[in-house]
Amino acid sequence: MSSRRIASGFNAFINVVGSALAVSAATRQYRQPGDKDLKRLGIDPDQFHGIRRY
């Protein structure tokens, strides 16, 4: 496995963790999380924004 491929995989992992933290922080503060972060986590933003309480 090349070092470039390992670095790419690690970068993708860090991006997912960052999105999870951003969505978690937003919901704790009763804010709407960003669509980009929701999509990265595999969550449909339209359905998530339809939730009244989170």
In a domain, 31, yes or no: yes
User: Residue 50: helix, strand or coil by DSSP?
Assistant: coil
The helix (H) or strand (E) run that includes residue 49 is helix 45-49
In a domain, 54, yes or no: no
Q: What angle do CA 44, 6, 10 make, to 5 degrees?
A: 40
In a domain, 13, yes or no: yes
Give the domain extent around 16.
Answer: 3-49
pLDDT tens for residues 1-54?
Answer: 788 999 999 999 999 999 999 999 999 999 999 999 999 999 999 999 998 765
pLDDT in the model for residue 54: 54
In a domain, 38, yes or no: yes
Phi-psi region of 53 (alpha: psi -120 to 50; beta: other; left: phi over 0): beta
In a domain, 37, yes or no: yes
pLDDT in the model for residue 52: 79
In a domain, 39, yes or no: yes
Q: What is the pTM of this model?
A: 0.84
In a domain, 32, yes or no: yes
Q: Provide the number of structural domains found in the chain.
A: 1
